[in-house]
Amino acid sequence: MSAPRLVLVLGDQLTPSVAALRAADRESDIVVMAEVEDEAAYVPHHPKKIAFILAAMRHFAAELEQAGWRVLYTRLDDPENAGSIPGEVLRRVEDTGAQEVIATEPGEWRLIDLLGALPVPVRQLPDDRFLCSRKEFDAWAEGRKSLRMEYFYREMRRRTGLLMEGAKPAGGQWNYDHDNRKPAAADLFREGPAWFEPDAETQAVLDLVEGRFAGNFGDLRPFRFGVTRAQAEAAFDHFLRHRLAEFGAYQDAMLAEDAFLSHAVIGLYLNTGLLDPLKVCRAAEAAWRDGYVPINSAEGFIRQILGWREFVRGVYFREGPDYVRRNRLNHQRKLPDFYWGGETRMACMAAAVGQTRTEAYAHHIQRLMVTGNFALLAGVNPAEVHEWYLAVYADAFEWVEAPNTLGMSQFADGGVVGSKPYVSSGAYIERMSDYCKGCHYRVRERTGPRACPFNLLYWHFLTRHRPRFQGNPRMAQMYRTWDRMAEDRRAAVLAEADALLARLSAGDVV
Ligand code: FAD
Ligand code: DLZ
Ligand code: SF4
C-alpha cells in the first residue's frame, strides 16, 4: 500500500469543497488540522476571534469525520502540539510516513512561504473560493495606469451576470451610492444580527481561550457568533429577511448605542469559508428581483462582496509580500494607547474602540472614518495600524485587512487601492453619527481647548503633505478652503495641532 498524503486545512479554509479536499482521496488521504500558538499569537488577536476560529475548526473537523474523512486534529492544549503550522505538518508527516502534503494556498504570504520552505513536498493549490482568480485579476490589472475598484466591479458584474439586464446594469446604473448616505435615527427599533448560544464544544474552547489569552485586548464573553456552516447560513438568511432592505441607505451611518445598524456581520463567516460569496450575492439579487429590497441596498451590498472583497484580494497578491511594510507618507508615530482600550475624551473613538473591545466588530465607516481617519491624520506608523486591525476584528485575515488598512485607510501604498486619502474633519463624523453630542470636544470649534481633534489634525495633515496632494483634483477644494482662511487663523490651527500631537506622543489623555 502506498503512503497516504496529508491534506492540510487551515482555520480559514473551512469549506467542504476547498481545493485541497477536492484534490484528495477520502479513502486513503488524511486531513490535518491544528490549533497552534503561533497563529493565535503572531499578533495579539481578540479573544473572541481566536475562540471563533478554534470553535469553527472543531465543528468543521467533526463534519469532515462524519462525511467519512480521517482527520488528525490537534487541540491547542495537546501536550504533543508543536506550536506552529509547519511544526504540526512535520510531526504528522513523521507519524504517518506521508510523502506529500496537499494544501490550499493560504491567504497570507507569511504562511505561503512557511509551507514552501518545508522539507517535504507541499502542493499549494489555488484557493478558488473567490469569484476572480489571482490570474484573472492580474490579467485585468495588466497595463492599466491605475487600478480602480469601480471598473473592476463593472467587469465582475458582466462576468457573473449579477444585477445585469443583458449588457446593461439592472435599473440603468452601476452604482446607487448617492441614495446611500443617510444618517440614522437613534430612537428607531432595528432588528440586530442573528446570534447563537455556544454549545458544549464551543464552551470548551471559550474556557481554553480564557485561560490562555486573558491578557489580550477584547472581551471573550458573551460569545454569540455562529461557528458552523448552518449557523452562518442562518445568520445570513436573517440579514436577508430583516436587515438588507435598510443596508443601503444607512451604510455610512454610526450610532453610539447600535454597533451593527443594518450591516450584515458576515465578514467572519465569508472569510473562514462558512459562507459562499457567489451564493450570498445571488440571494441578495433575488431579494431585489422578488421585490423585498430596494435596488440601492441590493447593489450596495453586492458591490462590497463582488467588487471590494475581490478587488482587495487581487491587490494583496499582485503587490507582493512587501505590501505590508509600505509607508509612502513616512508616518512614524506610535499607535496611541486608547486603541488598546486606554482612556480618550473623543466620544467617537471611545465608541468605535469600545464596541471593538466588546464585539470584535466595527462597521466599515467606523474603521475608515473614525479609527483609520484618526491614525492617518495623526501620522501613526501604518505597520502598527495594520497590526491593530489584523488583531482586533473577528473577520480580519491579512489578504483582506492589509489592502483596506494600508491602502484604503492609511494611503501607505501611495494610491494603489484609493486615488486619494480618506481624511475628514469632525464635520463628517457629526453628519453621519450621534457621537459629537456627548463629546468632551466641540465639533464646530476649529481652535481652542475644546476644538475637535479631527479638525486640528485634518488641516495639519493637508499642510504637511501639501506637495504630494495639492495637485490631486479630488483634493483641490480642500486646499482652496484652507488658503481662504485668515493667516493668523491658519497659524493658530497648526500650532494647536502641533501641541495636540506632542500630547499624544507624551501619552497624555486626548
Ligand atoms: P457589511 O458592511 O455588511 O458588508 C458585507 C460584506 O461585504 C462584508 O462582510 C465583506 O465581506 C464585504 N466588504 C465590505 N466592504 C469591504 C471592503 N472594503 N473590503 C473587502 N470586503 C468588503 N473586511 C474584512 O473582511 N476583513 C478585514 O480585516 C477588514 N479590515 C478592514 C480594515 C479597514 C481599515 C477598513 C476601512 C475596512 C476593513 N474591512 C475588512 C472592510 C469592511 O470594513 C468589513 O468587511 C466590514 O465592516 C465587515 O462587516 P460586515 O460583515 O457587517 O459587512
Ligand atoms: C487566525 C488563525 C488563528 C487565530 N488560529 C489558527 C489556528 O490555530 N490554526 C489554523 O490553522 N489557523 C488559524 N488561524 C488562521 C490562519 O492564521 C490563516 O490561515 C491565515 O491567517 C491565512 O489567512
Ligand atoms: Fe469625534 Fe470630534 Fe465629534 Fe468628539 S467632536 S465625537 S472627537 S468628531
The response to whether residue 443 sits with its C-beta less than 6 Å from ligand 3 reads yes
Please give the residue that has the higher pLDDT: either 181 or 445: 445
The response to whether residue 346 sits with its C-beta less than 6 Å from ligand 3 reads yes
Q: Which atom of ligand 3 is nearest to the CA of 440?
A: 4
| DSSP 8-state assignment for residue 26 | T
Ligand nearest to the CA of 456: 3
Give the integer Cα–Cα distance in Å for 248 and 232: 22
In this structure, the residue with its CA closest to atom 23 of ligand 2 is 107
In this structure, the residue with its CA closest to atom 7 of ligand 3 is 346
Residues 312-368: tens digit of each pLDDT: 999 999 999 999 999 999 999 999 999 999 999 999 999 999 999 999 999 999 999
Cα 19 from chain centre? 23
Environment class of 91 (CB within 10 Å of its CB; exposed 0-12, middle 13-18, buried 19+)? middle
**Which pLDDT band, with edges at 50, 70 and 90, does 306 fall under?**
very high
The response to whether residue 465 sits with its C-beta less than 6 Å from ligand 1 reads no
In this structure, the residue with its CA closest to atom 8 of ligand 3 is 426
Gap from CA of 267 to ligand 1 centroid (Å)? 6
**Amino acid type, 405:** T
Ligand nearest to the CA of 31: 2
Gap from CA of 453 to ligand 1 centroid (Å)? 26
Mean of the per-residue pLDDT values of the chain: 97
Q: What whole-number percentage of the chain has pLDDT above 90?
A: 96
In this structure, the residue with its CA closest to atom 1 of ligand 3 is 348
Gap from CA of 163 to ligand 1 centroid (Å)? 21
**Which pLDDT band, with edges at 50, 70 and 90, does 182 fall under?**
confident
The response to whether residue 452 sits with its C-beta less than 6 Å from ligand 3 reads yes
The response to whether residue 11 sits with its C-beta less than 6 Å from ligand 2 reads yes
Strand partners, 72: 32
Is 131's pLDDT higher than 80? Answer: yes
pLDDT at 1: 58
Gap from CA of 354 to ligand 1 centroid (Å)? 18
Q: Is the pTM of this model over 0.95?
A: yes
The response to whether residue 432 sits with its C-beta less than 6 Å from ligand 3 reads no
Residues 443-490: tens digit of each pLDDT: 999 999 999 999 999 999 999 999 999 999 999 999 999 999 999 999
Is 77's pLDDT higher than 70? Answer: yes
Is 133's pLDDT higher than 90? Answer: yes
Gap from CA of 490 to ligand 3 centroid (Å)? 20
The response to whether residue 429 sits with its C-beta less than 6 Å from ligand 1 reads no
Helix (H, G, I), strand (E, B) or coil at 72: strand
Give the integer Cα–Cα distance in Å for 469 and 485: 19
Domains (ranges, CATH) in the chain?
6-125 (3.40.50.620), 134-193+243-319 (1.25.40.80), 337-506 (1.10.579.10)
The response to whether residue 355 sits with its C-beta less than 6 Å from ligand 1 reads no
pLDDT at 6: 98
Residues 391-427: tens digit of each pLDDT: 999 999 999 999 999 999 999 999 999 999 999 999 9
Is 28's pLDDT higher than 80? Answer: yes
> Cβ contacts of residue 38 below 8 Å, gap of 6+?
83, 84, 85, 87
Give the integer Cα–Cα distance in Å for 475 and 81: 53
pLDDT at 2: 73
Q: What whole-number percentage of the chain has pLDDT above 70?
A: 100
Give the integer Cα–Cα distance in Å for 426 and 428: 6
In this structure, the residue with its CA closest to atom 1 of ligand 2 is 39
Ligand nearest to the CA of 14: 2
Residues 274-303: tens digit of each pLDDT: 999 999 999 999 999 999 999 999 999 999
| Euclidean distance between the first and the last CA atom of the chain, given in angstroms as a whole number | 68
